[in-house]
Structure 1
Amino acid sequence: MTKRILLVLLTSLAFAACEVKKKETSDNGQNSFIDSLMNEMTLEEKLGQLNLPSSGDIVTGTAASSDIGEKIRAGKVGGLFNINASKIKAVQKVAVEESRLKIPLIFGMDVIHGYKTLFPIPLGLSCSWDMDLIEQSARVAAVEASADGICWTFSPMVDISRDPRWGRVSEGNGEDPFLGSAIARAMVKGYQGDDLTQNNTIMACVKHFALYGAIEAGRDYNTVDMSRMRMFNEYLAPYQAAVDAGVGSVMTSFNEVDGVPASANKWLMTDLLRDQWGFNGFVVTDYTAINEMSAHGLGDLATVSGLSLNAGVDMDMVGEGFLTTLKKSMEDGIVSEAQINAACRRILKAKYKLGLFEDPYKYCDEQRQKTEIFNDEHRAKARELAAQTLVLLKNQDQILPLKKESKIALVGPMADNKENMAGTWSVAGDFKKSISLREGLEAVVGQGNVVYARGANITSDSLLEKRVSIFGKPTYRDNRSESAMISEVVKAAQGADVIVAAVGESAEMSGESASRSDIEIPESQRNLLKALLKTGKPVVMVLFTGRPLAMTWENENIPSILNVWFAGSEAGNAISDVLFGDVNPSGKLTATFPQNVGQVPLYYNHKNTGRPLPEGGWFQKFRSNYLDVSNAPLYPFGYGLSYTTFEYGDLSLSTDSLTMDDELTVSVKVSNTGDYDGAEVVQLYVRDVVGTITRPVKELKGFEKIKLAKGESKTVTFTLSKEDLAFYHQDMSFEAEPGAFKVFVGPSSAEGKEADFYLK
């Protein structure tokens, strides 16, 4: 070994030792501080730290708090959430200047897909398959929220969902645990950065732990029931990825797990989360989740509050069961003082990590408020990212991209609606600052070349429309008859070169408490589309949605379909960027679109039955299929078109016989064979051909988004090891099994090149 190498090695070891020593010193200082503080606290003040009332600005559940100021002075509040930013400094002042022990509050908010600068809904973000951009979206959100006094966000939501009837599918990352895990890591890193003491980072809260996306019938807050193997192999990975990434807090889910509601489930909150995964942050319930366990049948408020604390829950959101019942429960021996102390310590530790004891007002910076919120840089990033999330579902006769000299008839209930561009769970946004599709198109071709007519309401059902016109997102119902609106549209289309129809869902037709049994486009809008087709003009359907929809008729009849989700503050500009070809669409679906609702749940990584239908087939008697529809999805997981074309070469494997200690490299040459520069998401899937338990037909195990100029080629290489091939067994061991495997690489889960290898 040369002296230079030895010097470098010794320097590295010394640096590592120094970092360990610094961490030990920091941990010792933190522990000493918290020990000293807790020695001064009364039992009531400790219970106060476990209490998270709502500010009253936004109420989503069944309970509300009052007399917040007096409770803060009495040390009965640990934090507040969804409070108006203008009130935070004043409320914090009450806590640190008027309460006995001057313990600062933690301020949380549902910063789900941006703060003031709104990015696409999470389901849309996931369709970018771009972890750097997704992390940047969380970083922008953290910068803006922290500039306005927020230091804690109830995000990311990583619930795997395979049922588009569930409204909250819009708030997650789709159906795949591998992709969901990558996004969980990116979001936590974006929010928390490398140092939570910095005033432009915020603490993340992964939710909803656990299995919320698997509720029965797609009906929100409903029951979940599944085996442990299915939990671990198909649903739990994204939560664990967030924990491994250092997430500071975890939120319980509303559903039950193994027959016990999550907030009272000790196996979930202690055995798995803390003991097995090593989580060392704090656990907060969802809104009134403890109180709601009485309706589940677990007992009165005192009983369920005791169950929750014993399970490992630290903070009670809104319900105040901890605050009002735990003292007596401790006296009765139902809970222990040690458990209360442990929960209180975790809350205080989070506040210490955030630097709130050192400077309670560190997030209340008026200068940052003026310069770091909804600025040009952040809006440009939102526009860039939004364009990457749009998914081109169909482009018959290459109608898209549009020519910038085109005269456009813009129609549909979503064509000129700023407030609905953001989508659901955008609580801090100023919706009137969003860019509508009409504004985006007019900015490109000029107002004189865009003729607008509404053409239809979101739905003909006025009561349904009223239910989805909430949270400051009106649908602007037109009370004219359907025939009158359609006649106006047909007239507007006569002088146009192309019709752009902005249809689908409004923002709050998906989201929390927005489940739908019918996931087709409403009849009023389909009637509009039928009338547009009769004009003979080319029709581009711009689809706004927070979930996969059943669009068999639209796919069969509309020549061009661009799925834009809800693209955020810069929606109109980003959609126009793609419609006119300034950005080539590259989004790929992260949730399967069914042909009809009767196929649900439908997902790519399903298992075979003992009587599988031959691939590509439809009906065979005594096979697993339907009489009236094929098993195939309308649009599969990973699917998305481009204005250019990509060609995949044959797969090259470094070996066809892999040992447990080696790695396998899989390479494929991808070429841009079309007429536009573009980006392609290259996806790798594996299948374990024979196992001791049944295995999915395919599982995503790698992806890479590459940019290729027209005529350019690139070789993409993936690496597989035994960890990528491992799975949970009946005894809950996690290991790979020797045997035959197939590997697939292609543009979606439904197509690609295939090769075989053996693990020995």
Structure 2
Amino acid sequence: RETARQAARESITLLKNQDDILPLPSGAKVLVTGPNANSMRTLNGGWTYTWQGDRTDQFVSDELTIVEALQNTLGEANVRYAEGVRYTPGAQYWADELVDLGAVRRAAVGVDYIVLCLGENSYTEKPGDLNSLMLSENQQDLAEVAITTGKPVILVLNEGRPRIITNLEREMDAVLQLYLPGNHGGEALAEILTGATNPSGKLPYTYPRHVNDLIPYHHKFSENVPHNDGNEYLDPFFNPLYEFGHGLSYTTFAYSGLSVKASENSPNGELTVKVTVANTGDRDGAEVVQLYSTDVVATITPSVKRLRAFEKIKLAAGTSQEVSFTLPISAMSFINRTGESVLEAGEFIINVGDQQETFELQ
């Protein structure tokens, strides 16, 4: 259980934290609302216990949902719950229904924050297909109610794929991606919201800004071209809501001293990449150090960048650590027009954090 709990702690991703509204202060009074707030089914996947997950609750009666975990952490007197929207029992996984939005407005009176839990019900395989990544109209209506209360809104996304939140995101004070964290996701979220755990998760995909704007992080320069005027769903350039690898912390990290050295300048050589990472904030934290490479010129259009290595390190406040990666030069190869793996001479850019160095392969 502790392994599952730790996996949830380390994967939950803080996407937005406006004015450092999180973590919640001691004694905070919160309203928890949304169809994912009090469900163990949504915390798990469509194959965790039963196909589609519709009988998950039969197996997890001793585990805590999001609202239960927050009540356990903050105290029941400090946590109110109003459903707002529920997934329709016995219906298709995407079906939901409004549940007294007026009760949500009334429950918001006297609280300090609203924790808005939106996303998806569990699904898997072909039945999980859908026609649009937009959140349901009912969930969007609930979000608007939360916004109009004037209370700070913390959006918690419990979903297996990135649902479009662009119009809502700008109104949110904080956004967290819970993914499908399993039985201990509610507890892990409560720890993060209250500051007992410092978030360290990073996005494993590019979070799209619009429904039809699904461009991966390793897209090619040739895909950065303008589209027809008037199409609001297609941005003229790569412009995701959140980039691959994005994730915030309650502390800050600084990168310095990037160096790139080759054991030999040939396809048989290795690159040793070193960088120093410092925790410049006042909280202990963990950082995922990510190494990317870019092939500047190739016989086919190269990717903008490619993730080559990563390592998560833990740093106490005010400390630093040198991180070293060993990368085979042959890893810079690509598949050419005839389907062969080739490595071409030329300039490569190595990026780690905000640091950049070049390497010239002879």
What one-letter code is carried by the residue in structure 1 that aligns with 2:35?
A: P
Alpha-carbon distance between aligned partners in 1 of 2:144 and 2:236, rounded to the nearest angstrom: 25
Q: 1:486 to 1:754 in 2, by over 3 A?
A: same
Residue of structure 2 equivalent to 1:228: none
Q: Is the 8 A contact 1:657 1:757 kept in 2?
A: no
Structure 1 counterpart SS, 2:100: helix
Q: Which protein shows a greater Rg? A: 1
Residue of structure 2 equivalent to 1:497: 112
Gaps of 5+ in 2: 51-55
Residue of structure 2 equivalent to 1:507: 122
Are positions 1:391 and 2:13 aligned together?
yes
Q: 1:736 to 1:524 in 2, by over 3 A?
A: same
1:111-149 residue CA offsets vs partner (Å, 9 max, x unmatched): xxxxxxxxxxxxxxxxxxxxxxxxxxxxxxxxxxxxxxx
Structure 1 counterpart SS, 2:91: helix
Matches within 5 A, 1:18-57: none
Are positions 1:454 and 2:80 aligned together?
no
Q: 1:500 to 1:511 in 2, by over 3 A?
A: farther
Structure 2 counterpart SS, 1:742: strand
Residue of structure 1 equivalent to 2:53: none
Are positions 1:557 and 2:159 aligned together?
no
Shift of 1:655: 5.2
Alpha-carbon distance between aligned partners in 2 of 1:572 and 1:694, rounded to the nearest angstrom: 44
Q: 1:568 to 1:626 in 2, by over 3 A?
A: farther
Are positions 1:467 and 2:67 aligned together?
no
Matches within 5 A, 1:42-191: none
Residue of structure 2 equivalent to 1:691: 298
What one-letter code is carried by the residue in structure 1 that aligns with 2:93?
A: V
Shift of 1:467: 0.9
Matches within 5 A, 1:400-411: 400-411=22-33
Shift of 1:736: 1.8
Q: Could you say which structure has the higher helix fraction?
A: 1
Q: Is the 8 A contact 2:44 2:180 kept in 1?
A: yes
Shift of 1:656: 11
Structure 2 counterpart SS, 1:384: helix
1:509-540 residue CA offsets vs partner (Å, 9 max, x unmatched): x6543122211221211111111122221111
Alpha-carbon distance between aligned partners in 1 of 2:228 and 2:203, rounded to the nearest angstrom: 25
Q: 1:656 to 1:695 in 2, by over 3 A?
A: farther
Q: Is the 8 A contact 2:41 2:121 kept in 1?
A: no
What one-letter code is carried by the residue in structure 2 that aligns with 1:468?
A: Y
1:389-432 residue CA offsets vs partner (Å, 9 max, x unmatched): 10111110111111241111111111112233212211366243
What TM-score, normalized by structure 1, do the two folds share? 0.44
**Matched positions, count:** 350
Q: 1:391 to 1:605 in 2, by over 3 A?
A: same
Q: Is the 8 A contact 1:649 1:669 kept in 2?
A: yes
Shift of 1:726: 2.0
Are positions 1:420 and 2:34 aligned together?
no
Structure 2 counterpart SS, 1:586: coil
Q: 1:630 to 1:486 in 2, by over 3 A?
A: farther
Q: 1:579 to 1:550 in 2, by over 3 A?
A: same
Residue of structure 2 equivalent to 1:586: 200
Q: Is the 8 A contact 1:412 1:503 kept in 2?
A: yes
Which of 739, 745, 753 is 2:346 aligned to? 739
Matches within 5 A, 1:119-518: 379-427=1-49, 430-458=59-87, 466-468=91-93, 482=98, 485-508=100-123, 511-518=125-132
Q: 1:757 to 1:408 in 2, by over 3 A?
A: same
Shift of 1:756: 0.9
Q: Is the 8 A contact 1:388 1:585 kept in 2?
A: yes
Q: Is the 8 A contact 1:404 1:444 kept in 2?
A: no
Shift of 1:664: 1.8
Residue of structure 2 equivalent to 1:330: none
What one-letter code is carried by the residue in structure 2 that aligns with 1:724?
A: A
What one-letter code is carried by the residue in structure 1 that aligns with 2:332?
A: L
Structure 1 counterpart SS, 2:9: helix
Shift of 1:653: 1.8
Residue of structure 2 equivalent to 1:179: none
Q: Is the 8 A contact 1:389 1:586 kept in 2?
A: yes
Shift of 1:727: 2.5
1:552-592 residue CA offsets vs partner (Å, 9 max, x unmatched): 11221111011111211112111111111111111111111
Q: 1:468 to 1:431 in 2, by over 3 A?
A: farther
What one-letter code is carried by the residue in structure 2 that aligns with 1:389?
A: S
Shift of 1:626: 5.3
What TM-score, normalized by structure 2, do the two folds share? 0.90
What one-letter code is carried by the residue in structure 2 that aligns with 1:494?
A: V
Which of 620, 624, 638 is 2:226 aligned to? 624
Alpha-carbon distance between aligned partners in 2 of 1:551 and 1:630, rounded to the nearest angstrom: 19
Q: Is the 8 A contact 1:433 1:569 kept in 2?
A: no
Structure 1 counterpart SS, 2:36: coil
Q: 1:418 to 1:662 in 2, by over 3 A?
A: closer
Q: Is the 8 A contact 2:82 2:103 kept in 1?
A: yes
Identity, % of aligned positions: 38
Shift of 1:645: 1.2
Higher RCO structure (Cα 8 Å, ≥6 apart): 2
Q: 1:626 to 1:650 in 2, by over 3 A?
A: farther
Alpha-carbon distance between aligned partners in 2 of 1:684 and 1:545, rounded to the nearest angstrom: 27
Residue of structure 2 equivalent to 1:757: 359
Residue of structure 1 equivalent to 2:145: 531
Residue of structure 2 equivalent to 1:178: none
Q: 1:626 to 1:552 in 2, by over 3 A?
A: farther
1:414-461 residue CA offsets vs partner (Å, 9 max, x unmatched): 111223321221136624343201111111122121111111234xxx
Structure 1 counterpart SS, 2:69: helix
Q: Could you say which structure has the higher strand fraction?
A: 2
Q: Is the 8 A contact 2:219 2:303 kept in 1?
A: yes
Shift of 1:630: 4.2
Shift of 1:723: 2.2
